[in-house]
Amino acid sequence: MDARVRISGIAISSRNVRGEIIYPHIILERESDLVVEKAPPNDPFAAPKRPISQLKAFSPDGRPLHRQCIEGTVIYQSPEGVVHVQAAAYGVRVETITAESFAPGDQVKVAGFINISREVAGLSGAVIRKIGHTKPPLPIPINLTEIQQDHAHLGSNQLLNHPGIDSLLVSIQGHLLGQQGPSSDGVMRLEIDTGDAISTAFVREKKLDVVPGSELRVTGVAQIQYAPVGQINFYPVPTRLDLLMRDKNDVSILSTPSWWNARRLFVAMSILALAMAIGGLWIYQLRRLVNRQTRRWEETLVAHRDSELEMKGAREERYRLAGDLHDGLQQHLTGASYRLEAALLRLGNQAPDVEEQFAATRAALERTRTGLREC
């Protein structure tokens, strides 16, 4: 790494459908086709030291191809080997080949190659050496509107000295819209509404005890997305602010949402509507039952009334028949019996057989009267 070499070989390339060269490269036949003209320094950290603010400043000599050294404080290290280093008001993204782990607050010296593949220059292929430890820098409270306003007031001359927010430790405040994950790479995503924009905070945690609607303050390394550059002399405009959180301690819950929210209101209204529907159906069934039972009672009462009227009519008819029999036929039989006795008295003494017939007739009349009375 960092050696100056001369390569001899066959130059070839691939082409697209327009005939444009898209993949130029050189094929070497033997190891001797790569000649080291100048060996790298024995100590990578012997490279020229450069302030972070001048990491990619313009120079008539062009971009330096050898390692450059910077110093700063570690604010975050990802499992992929990316270390974010902050010095004063500047932050740098460092892609390291060092296997050592660093903690926030470690003061380090970094030797690496300038990487201009992103909107803000960083370092790649870097080696890192720890030179001390200090308290991590405090996060900068910020939001996207402030970042955009800051850029809007800058002229082309001022841009050269503007630190920007990329790779700095910042904090945002807003409402949690939702959380996703963890995904296959173990990263959880928090969608936060800061009032002027939506920001995504990435953190490697299995679970966070936060609920949507909570008011949060989230700390992390700023990741700025820019709009494409439209014309010459235009500078990229920030369009989005995302954060790389270090751990779950970077989330502070300022307030939790009310228990009575729109979802629970909908559930309560649904339950109430269902209860009202069940109550209405029950009342309808109860009314049907009451009406049916009332009709049964009415039918029973009508039947009892008819039966009573029939019994009363039959009783009155029996009384009438009894009266007619007693006052009519019974009296006639009694009168006939009295007249028979009167006739016997007038006739006087009669023959025995005649007396016998009269006695039998009187007995028949008496039996008829007794039977009629019993009837």
In this prediction, residue 273 carries a pLDDT of: 94
Q: Pick the closest to residue 126 from 103, 106, 110 (CA basis).
A: 110
Mean pLDDT lowest among 94-98, 134-138, 147-151, 246-250: 147-151
Rounded to an integer, the average pLDDT of 92-107 is: 92
73 or 80, which is more confident: 73
In this prediction, residue 285 carries a pLDDT of: 94
How many Å from the N-terminal Cα to the C-terminal Cα in the chain?
143
Coil/strand/helix, residue 182 = coil
* Cross-strand partners of 269: none
Rounded to an integer, the average pLDDT of 33-52 is: 89
The tens digit of pLDDT for each residue in 306-362 reads: 888 888 888 888 888 888 777 778 888 888 888 888 887 787 777 788 778 888 888
In this prediction, residue 58 carries a pLDDT of: 66
The tens digit of pLDDT for each residue in 158-175 reads: 555 566 788 999 999 999
pLDDT exceeds cutoff 80 at 55 = no
Contact 85, 74 (CB under 8 A): yes
In this prediction, residue 118 carries a pLDDT of: 82
In this prediction, residue 232 carries a pLDDT of: 45
In this prediction, residue 156 carries a pLDDT of: 52
Q: What is the percent of the chain where pLDDT is above 90?
A: 42
In this prediction, residue 295 carries a pLDDT of: 92
The tens digit of pLDDT for each residue in 252-285 reads: 999 988 777 777 888 999 999 999 999 999 999 9
Show Cβ contacts of residue 22 under 8 Å, excluding neighbours closer than 6 positions: 13, 14, 15, 16
> Tokens standing for 169?
């430790």
125 band by pLDDT with thresholds 50, 70 and 90:
very high
Rounded to an integer, the average pLDDT of 101-125 is: 91
Q: Pick the closest to residue 77 from 91, 94, 55 (CA basis).
A: 94
Averaged pLDDT score across all residues of the chain: 86
Backbone angles phi, psi at 255, to 5 degrees: -160, 150
